[in-house]
Amino acid sequence: MKKNSFLVKTVLMSMLTAVTFSFASCSQDDDLLTENNSGVETEQALTRSAANCEELAVDVANVKYQVTKDQEAGPVDVLRNFVNGSECDPDVEAYVNQLRSEAEQQQRGAMTRTATPKPTWGYRYIDFNYESIDEQGKPVTLSARVCWGMDIMGREISPKYMVLCPHSTIAGDYETPTRNASLENALLQGDRLLIMPDYLGYGASKDRVHPYINHDLCTRNSIDALKAGYKVFADMSKVPMHPDWRLYVTGCSQGGANALAIHKWLDTHLDFAQRWRFEYSYCACGPYSPVVTFQEYFKQKKLDYPIVLPLTLKAMFAAYPEILGKWKEEDFYSEAYLKHKSVVDYMISSKEYASGPINKEIFKIFPHKGEAGIKDGEQIWLTDMLNPEVINPESAMSKALFECLDKNDLTKGWKPVHPIHLYHGKNDTYVGFANSEAVMAAFPDMATLDISMAGTDGHLMTCIKWMSNVRIGNW
């Protein structure tokens, strides 16, 4: 309870600061208080927006969805839900603390590519189920959230930025966007239409294996969420899209890789990208090349985030039986880990535990107190969990795994048309900085890599700074 009390106090301080800033800004933001006051202007805006969105009709005509929740919430409610759902995460205080500086950052106005977001006094959230496909191309029902802002008068704000935001790595179903505790829920601002898929394996499909780093499948599921999310907005909102709306894709960690995978899909389906007015992606510290990611793991010989191994193996076995079918998942693990595998498997499959507690359970299985070169309770050796054959690059087992990983490498097989903006810290041990370097080497004319704020940060702090950048419009 001590930790939760600290979080609540921090959130309240953050919200007091943010609300004070929003109130002060209202007097300077005439557009916020006068928007849609004229019936004629409203009708003209509706007409312009309807004309601008007619081009999307071909993509959403056959989309079906089922609304599961339609609610309005204020900023305090949003952060309270986030805190209540995230109290098990040992590092969540750092992100909430970061929100406290938001007002000061907004006043500085150091924007790069997008305008300063409008102050937002409330939000409308709609959770919905939609149809997509699974690893074998069979129909599956998935869930997602679409949300947009409301002004001080309680009126919905016409979104100027449609933002598709695949979420970062989670393990607990309560961390999904539709369960309120997703970090990405905090990215909503008044000028955005935010669409956030839960992913296969969570939400409406929580009984399924999550296709971790299966970029093609996560992309298909996310594009289907984009189409359904827009249709929900078009059918149920009280305002149209802004006449000059644009589409952006952003995410961090696993969400960063999925954002780049969506970018790849859009740039290889240019008619769709043009209709949806795609501008660029902003991707933070993602495993863009699973091959490079695992090569880095094998090079450092130890892991800070061991849950990545079972998540990856379960996803690869579900997706590529034609490659891995001669083995069982158990064959890839060490004898020592197999004695405890059922416990970790239960924690993962139950979807009741965040990644932090699962990692702690693995650290507890493999203590390294007093051992040189490794941090007890914070790291494990790869050989603690993996069969040595997996780490041997000449073994059939290792080659098969890397064949699966190679199918999800986003640094080859396409040519970007729209800009890629990357954000990464050089000391990231969860997802190596080499991933961003690989993207830069592959697409030097279309990609930029920003380390100005992340610098030598590790994974978590890079994600926090990415969230701050997106929240205040500095992206």
The CATH architecture to which 50-288+413-472 belongs is: 3-Layer(aba) Sandwich (3.40)
Question: DSSP letters along 120-187, please?
Answer: -SEEEEEEEEEEEE-TTS-EEEEEEEEEEEE-TTSPBPPPSEEEE-------SGGGSGGGT--GGGGG
**Contact (Cβ atoms closer than 8 angstroms) between residue 254 and residue 230:** no
The pLDDT profile of the chain, 475 residues, written as one tens digit per residue, is 333 333 333 333 333 333 333 322 332 333 322 233 334 444 544 444 455 578 898 899 999 999 999 998 776 666 666 556 554 444 444 444 444 344 334 333 333 454 455 555 788 999 999 999 999 999 999 999 999 999 888 889 999 999 999 999 999 999 999 997 677 777 777 789 999 999 999 999 999 999 999 999 999 999 999 999 999 999 999 999 999 999 999 999 999 999 999 999 999 999 999 999 999 999 999 999 999 999 999 999 999 999 999 999 999 999 999 999 999 999 999 999 999 999 999 999 999 999 999 999 999 999 999 999 999 999 999 999 999 999 999 999 999 999 999 999 999 999 999 999 999 999 999 999 999 999 999 999 999 999 887 778 899 888 888 888 887 777 7
- Three-state SS at 249: strand
Domain boundaries, the chain: 50-288+413-472, 290-406
Paired sense of beta strands 122-133 and 139-150, if any? antiparallel
pTM to 2 decimal places: 0.84
The pLDDT assigned to 198 comes to 97
The pLDDT assigned to 104 comes to 36
The pLDDT assigned to 39 comes to 42
